[in-house]
Amino acid sequence: MFGFYIVLAIFLILAILLLIFRVSRLVNVVKGSEEKVSSGSNNINAVLMILFMVSFFGLMAWYSWTNFDAYDPPVASEHGIVTDRLFWRTMWITFIVFVLTHILLFIFAFKYRYKANRRADFFPHNNNLEIIWTVVPAIVLTWLVISGWMAWSDITKAAPDESEQIEIMGYQFAWSLRYGGMDNEVGDYDYRLIDAVNSHGQDFSDRAGFDDFQNQNLVIPKGRPVLLKIRARDVLHSVFIPHMRLKMDAVPGMPTQFWFVANKTTEEMRVEEGNPDFDYELACTEVCGRGHFSMKKTVIVLEQAEYDKWKAEQKSWLSKNPDYMSQVPENLKELAVVTAGINE
């Protein structure tokens, strides 16, 4: 019954609208206002332009001001400070251009609305004007590009040797982490070796992998470079840590990487944000299927000392899964037992 009333209401509203339309058309025909080049509605549209501009700017200013903290996530990495500075510099420049051009657009539209006794200016071109507004944007853009390029070169240069190496692998629909262990080197892998337990396909003929360990959360030290060695097992994924201003695709068959320095521990950020439950998060930003929106990892930033302590406590993957000792070549077995810390 309710549905019927809705349909009836819609039908009646449409009928009324149609009636209004017909009546106003007939009125227009009688008045002959449709025949004129420009009727009174020309002025209404001109005024609406100004009204639109004022309310648009007003709403934008109000929202940008009052909600600043909501849309500006705090930054927690060293390169993030640089890219944020670039972002806001670009914002100010483009904001000025945005406001100026819109003021001109709407003011011109209003001011030069049709008047029967006026004639438009015949002004087909002016070389000076055209040169100015080609050259000025070119200079400003050059400045923006060069500062962006310098930042980009810094961010993408080779990771420092002392970087903490962590492999992060995306798969449908989660992330999996593997730490370099005591030698700080993540061992080789081969995707053909992947099975239900050995999810990274770790290749046990590589001695660098014996001490590798896995962990649920991405734990990293503050103030020390961290090199994420990024890979994907099935389809494209993308590592995104919003607070670190970090993003890099995970590509099956083509390892990628991103190194960065976190500069605020989780504790510090909790205090700064006044939110005791705050945690850094890692998300996926390349569509990867049904569970794309749920690929979350918690990121925990510790002071260096805490981190060292935590790392020393971790048990190697091989020691937790001693069955895989059988994949270790004979000549490395002894080494594997020692470096993996297997108690026999």
The reply on whether position 94 binds another protein by CB under 8 A is: yes
**Contact characters 203-222, another protein, x per CB under 8 A:** --------------------
The reply on whether position 87 binds another protein by CB under 8 A is: yes
Determine contact, residues 324/204, Cβ cutoff 8 Å. Answer: yes
Determine contact, residues 207/327, Cβ cutoff 8 Å. Answer: no
Residues 275-314 that bind another protein (CB under 8 A): 277-279, 281, 283-294, 296
Q: How far apart are CA 43 and CA 34, in angstroms?
A: 15
**Least Cβ distance, residue 181 to another protein (angstroms):** 23
Q: In what order do the strands lie in the sheet with 297-302?
A: 218-221, 297-302, 280-284, 237-241, 246-250
* Beta-carbon count within 10 A of 271 CB: 12
Q: How far apart are CA 212 and CA 232, in angstroms?
A: 18
Q: 143 or 334: whose CB is closer to another protein?
A: 143
Residues 176-205 that bind another protein (CB under 8 A): 191-192, 194, 196, 201
**Contact characters 118-157, another protein, x per CB under 8 A:** xxxxxxxxx--xx--xx--xx--x--xx--xx-xxx-xx-
Q: 24 or 217: whose CB is closer to another protein?
A: 24
Q: 126 or 331: whose CB is closer to another protein?
A: 126
The reply on whether position 56 binds another protein by CB under 8 A is: yes
Q: How far apart are CA 65 and CA 317, in angstroms?
A: 50
Residue 230 vs residues 54, 70, 218, 310: alpha-carbon distances, Å: 48, 30, 13, 23
**Least Cβ distance, residue 52 to another protein (angstroms):** 7
Residues 58-77 that bind another protein (CB under 8 A): 60, 63-64, 67, 70-73
**Least Cβ distance, residue 311 to another protein (angstroms):** 26
The reply on whether position 224 binds another protein by CB under 8 A is: no
- Tell me, what DSSP letter sits at residue 173? T
Q: Work out the angle at residue 77's Cα, subtended by the Cα atoms of residues 74 and 82, and round it to the nearest 5 degrees.
A: 85
Q: Pick from 219, 246, 318, 328 the residue near another protein by CB under 8 A.
A: 246
The reply on whether position 26 binds another protein by CB under 8 A is: no
Q: How far apart are CA 91 and CA 86, in angstroms?
A: 8
Q: How far apart are CA 173 and CA 144, in angstroms?
A: 38
The reply on whether position 11 binds another protein by CB under 8 A is: no
Q: 181 or 209: whose CB is closer to another protein?
A: 209
Residues in contact with another protein, total (CB under 8 A)? 112
Choose the stretch contacting another protein; rule: CB under 8 A; options: 44-52, 159-167, 180-188, 335-343. 44-52
Q: Residue 222's closest CA among 85, 65, 77, 44? A: 77
Q: Residue 136's closest CA among 83, 96, 109? A: 96
Determine contact, residues 220/299, Cβ cutoff 8 Å. Answer: yes
The reply on whether position 320 binds another protein by CB under 8 A is: no
Q: Pick from 249, 318, 324, 337 the residue near another protein by CB under 8 A.
A: 249
**Least Cβ distance, residue 313 to another protein (angstroms):** 27
Q: 102 or 207: whose CB is closer to another protein?
A: 102
Q: How far apart are CA 295 and CA 173, in angstroms?
A: 6
